[in-house]
A and B are shown apart, each in its own frame.
Chain A
Amino acid sequence: MKSEAYRARGASSATPGAPAPPTQDIPPAPAAATAPAATLPAPTAPTPAPTAPAAAPTPALATAAPTTSAAPPTQDAPRAICVEALCKVFGAHRALDQVSFELPRGAFLSIFGPNGAGKTTLLRILATLTRPSSGTVQVLGHHLKDQSEDLRARIGLISGRSMLYPDLTAEENLIHTARLYGVLDPGARVSELLASVELTARRHDVVRGFSRGMTQRLAIARALVHSPELLFLDEPYSGLDPHAVDLFDGLIAQIRTDCSHSFVMVSHDLEKGFELASHVLMLARGKVVRAGRREDLDFAEFAALYRQTVGRGIA
Chain B
Amino acid sequence: MTDAYRDFPPPIGVRTVRPSTFAQYRTLLARDLRQEFRTREMLSSMGIYAVLVLVIFGASFAQVAHEMDLLKISGGLIWALIVFTSLLGLNRSFSREREEGALEGVLLVPLDRSIIFLAKATANLLFLLTVELITLPLFFFLFLSGSEFPTTFWMILGPLGAGSVGIAGVGTLLATMTANTRGKDVLLAVLFIPLAWPLLYACVVATTAALLGPEAVEVSYLGPVVLALGYDVILIAVSWLLYDFVVSA
Chain A residues within CB distance 8 Å of chain B: 2, 6-7, 9-15, 53, 55-56, 58-66, 127-131, 149-153, 155-157, 159, 161-168, 172, 176-177, 179-185, 188-189, 192, 195-196, 198, 200, 215, 222, 226-227, 247, 250
Contacts and interface: CB of A to CB of B under 8 A. Distances in A.
A60 B8 contact: yes
* Chain A binding surface, main DSSP class: loop
Contacts of B63: none
B102 A180 contact: no
B181 interface: no
A152 B34 contact: no
Contacts of A13: 13
B177 to A, nearest CB: 16
A158 B23 CA distance: 25
19 contacts: A6-B110, A12-B14, A13-B13, A14-B13, A59-B5, A128-B248, A129-B107, A153-B16, A157-B104, A176-B31, A179-B23, A182-B18, A183-B16, A184-B16, A195-B4, A196-B8, A198-B2, A227-B14, A247-B1
A213 to B, nearest CB: 14
B109 interface: yes
A161 B248 contact: no
Given A15-B13, A183-B14, A227-B14, A162 B108 contact: no
A131 B247 CA distance: 10
Given A155-B108, A161-B100, A164-B102, A184 B5 contact: no
Contacts of B24: 179-180
B8 A166 contact: no
Max chain A CB contacts within 10 Å: which of B2, B17, B19? B17
Contacts of B38: 167-168
Contacts of B147: none
Contacts of A159: 101, 104
B100 A168 contact: no
Contact of A192 (B1, B12, B31, B39): B12
A167 B39 contact: yes
Interface of B: 1-2, 4-6, 8-19, 23-24, 27-28, 31, 34-35, 38-39, 96, 99-102, 104-112, 248-249
Nearest to B247: A129
B34 A168 contact: yes
Given A10-B14, A60-B11, 8 more contacts: A12-B13, A59-B10, A131-B248, A163-B100, A177-B105, A180-B109, A195-B4, A196-B8
A288 to B, nearest CB: 24
Contacts of A63: 11, 13
Nearest to B112: A149
Contacts of B6: 56
A226 B16 contact: yes
A172 B8 contact: no
A258 to B, nearest CB: 12
Nearest to A18: B13
B107 A166 contact: no
B100 to A, nearest CB: 5
B17 A184 contact: yes
